[in-house]
Amino acid sequence: MFFQKIILIFKDKQLRNKILFVLGIFVVFRLAANIPIPGVDLENLKRFFGENQFFGLLNLFVGGALSNLSIAMLGLGPYITATIIIQLLTMIFPQLEKMYKGEGEAGRQKFNQYSRLLAVPLALLQAYAMLVLLQKQGAISSFSKTQLLTSVITVTGGALFLMWLGELISEKGIGNGVSLLILAGIVAETPTQVGQLVSTYTPERLTSYIFFFAVALVILAGVVLITEARRNIPVSYAKRVRGSRMYGGVSTYLPVSINPAGVIPIIFALSLLLFPGMIASFLASGGNPLMTNIAQRINSFLQNTWIHGIFFFILVFFFTYFYTAVTFDPKSIAENLQKMGGFVPGIRPGERTAEFLQKILYRILFIGAIFLGFIAIMPSIVQGITGITAFRFLIGGTALLIVVSVILDTWRQLKAQLEMREYENF
């Protein structure tokens, strides 16, 4: 059945072109990730990233672009951070929330435009901070002021270029462009991580390795379960007579996902979790002894496996609720049902239906948020128990969660497109 779907997808010219377009964007992304800025010792850089856990994790999500100090070294970080900030502002400014939810597609386009504009200063700031930090850490040689300015502008341009590529995928390809580019970065680094895994293997730790891989399979099964799980809300349509024909009078259901936010909470949580560590590392390299001491303590605190896991869980839980509240509007769904003559049995149409949908959503979302957070931190817990760090990038909960969720979401969109075309042909 799976292979039949694949054959049907590639037989459809439009779908085939969309898939080839996405693959072409991936090639451009990988080329950009391997174009270094001038005056960089790559061997010294790779050794630095192999020894530093924080930068190693950051490097994983940009497909090795950071260890190459390429023009795409920031990845989609500035754009994601800008999106988080703008979405947080919807909770403070009702005008922003009204624009996003009440103005339809035009409002969402304005919202995205604000995110793009905010991404520019954030990219400039992150590029400058990252380059200065790497200089102070001894990972790269000191730049002159002209070289630093040129490098900052180049790296900022690379971040905005990736943002554009992500939006091109969303607009002309299939799936979410930002998520797919992050997926491409993770997959691109997998061979390197497998090589490190093989080189660090010792027979004495075989039991721990088997245990860790077993947990990885549990995480994989959990991700599939939480991504595919649905809560079906029954919906009936009243009978309507138009002329000599009768419409409606059927019963169906409204599927509500246990995790409507998908992989976005993980991406948002990771972006916020890495940011304080980057700032602390930057301050730790300064000349002020007091600031250096405070920054080193903060850095040590954040790199603790258990502390990292607790904060990661809380942020994933929060963003699951927050992103769903921003994107899922029960009131709009209730109004659309009422316009089409639909109603939930036993619930009055309109406001009562909106309240009922919100109540159901928050109940199932609690289960989804807990489960999603638990899956995200499970590898950190096992790493703390077994002491194995060789797997932290290869099959860490974050990377595995993003890979599986993005693949499932993209596959679901492909099937929906295929079914729509089959229905149109019929």
pLDDT (tens digit per residue) in 344-360: 888 888 888 888 888 88
Tell me the mean pLDDT in the region 320-335: 80
Do 382 and 321 reside in the same domain of the chain? yes
Mean pLDDT calculated for residue range 1-21: 78
Mean pLDDT of the residues in the chain: 76
pLDDT computed for residue 256 by the predictor:
81
pLDDT, mean of residues 80-98: 79
Measured distance CA(197)–CA(14) in Å, rounded: 41
Query: What is the pLDDT, as a whole number, of residue 372?
Result: 81
| Range of lowest pLDDT (55-69, 161-175, 254-268, 286-300) | 55-69
DSSP letter at 200?
T
User: Mean pLDDT across the stretch 164-169?
Assistant: 90
The overall longest dimension of the chain from CA atoms, in Å, is: 86
Domain's final residue, options 199, 227, 245? 199
pLDDT (mean) for 96-122: 79
Residues 151 and 206 in one domain: no
315 shares its domain with 185 = no
* Percentage of the chain exceeding pLDDT 70: 73
**Whether residue 185 is found in the same domain as residue 58:** yes
pLDDT at 379 over 70: no
Q: Which helix (H) or strand (E) holds 251?
A: strand 251-257
Residue-level pLDDT at 339: 79
365-376 residue pLDDT tens: 888 888 888 877
Structure confidence at residue 161 (pLDDT): 92
Q: Above 60 in pLDDT, residue 389?
A: no
Predicted confidence (pLDDT) at residue 333 exceeds the cutoff of 70: yes
- Residue 245 counted as domain residue: yes
The 10 Å CB-count burial string (b at 16+, else e) for 162-177 is bbebbebbbeebbbbb
The residues, ordered by sequence, that sit 6+ positions from 233 with a Cβ below 8 Å of its Cβ are 253, 254, 255, 256, 344, 357, 360
Strand partners, 251: 236
- Residue 300's domain spans which residues? 202-389
What's the predicted TM-score (pTM) here? 0.72
Tell me: do 133 and 155 sit in the same domain: yes
Do 293 and 171 lie in one domain? The reply is no
Which pLDDT score is estimated for 160?
92
